[in-house]
Amino acid sequence: MFTATVTHEDIINQEGVLDSYLREQLDWNTKIENAKVFVRQELKNSSKQLKKLCVPLYFKNEDDETSLTSSGSFQSEITSQDLVERLRFCVNASSVTNNVTFTLFGSNDGTTFTQVKGIKPGTVIDNIVLTQNGEDSFIVQRSYDYYYITVSGTASFEAYMVETIFELPVLFKAIEYIYKDLQAEQGSNFDAKAEFYAGMYNDAFNTALYSYDEDLSGNIEDTEQDNNMQVLRYYR
């Protein structure tokens, strides 16, 4: 599945000045969604099947299930080896009672594990805490070959690691869209900024190395790693 977790906070972290141009808008989420549509279409135009991209590495229970339940406390099984260095830890909870804490642990030998801290725009966090149903995620501060999670609290959820390779293209395209709109609306010299981020997008997209689940097995094999876009572009 194609996935790219980009937020308004990511845009402001990249281009802080844009916070002052929101006016009646609450955030830049519409531009982010427009950028995702653009990137998805670029991938399809490159003959990529979206369902074969960004295959998650799911955390499972002892029954090999990905739909998980914590009744006070829970520890997942150790994942299979992460061959593609997924950098985002995600939790999607359908049911949460009070505060529920999700903590990630990583190891390179599958035996000795250490807690993995996360990065969000402008801060480092120890874990994910959910107070209601919904999704949350962070970028890992360091990647590992194997993972497991612990949960403190009562919740029904899915948790997984996923690639971040398309997040920069979406971020840069969204900022390009914002500066193009500002140029059109205000007549100020934002054209250079829009062109700069158009170039950043092209570089990020064209050099992206991604896994591709050719056989739709749900697992990435050695031969399904490190594909490259190699897109032929026509400039006007």
d(CA 177, CA 39): 13
Q: Is a pLDDT exceeding 90 seen at residue 236?
A: no
What fold does the segment set 57-162 form as a domain? Jelly Rolls (2.60.120)
Contact in structure between 89 and 137 (CB atoms under 8 Å): yes
Over residues 98-125, the mean pLDDT reads 96
pLDDT at residue 222 above 80? no
Instruction: Give the H/E segment covering residue 194.
Output: helix 191-206
- The 10s digit of each residue's pLDDT in 113-142 is 999 999 998 899 999 999 999 999 999 999
Domain ranges of the chain: 8-52+165-228, 57-162
What pLDDT does 122 receive? 85
Residue 23: pLDDT band with limits 50, 70, 90? confident
Residues 6+ apart with CB under 8 A from 68: 59, 60, 61, 74, 76, 151, 156, 157, 158, 159
Work out the average pLDDT over 99-116. 98
Q: Kindly tell me if the per-residue pLDDT of 18 is higher than 80.
A: yes
Is the model's pLDDT at 34 over the cut of 70?
yes
* Average pLDDT over every residue of 193-206: 96
Average pLDDT score over residue span 190-194: 91
- CB atoms under 10 Å from CB of 148, counted, come to 18
Inform me whether the pLDDT recorded for 16 exceeds 70.
Answer: yes
Q: Give residue-wise pLDDT tens across range 141-156.
A: 999 999 999 999 999 9
CA–CA separation, 197 and 191 (whole Å): 10
Q: What is the pLDDT of residues 52-76, one digit of tens each?
A: 999 999 999 999 999 999 999 999 9
Q: Does the pLDDT at position 157 exceed 90?
A: yes
Q: How confident is the model at residue 184 (pLDDT cuts 50, 70, 90)?
A: confident
Q: Looking at residue 135, what is its pLDDT?
A: 96
What is the pLDDT at residue 227? 66
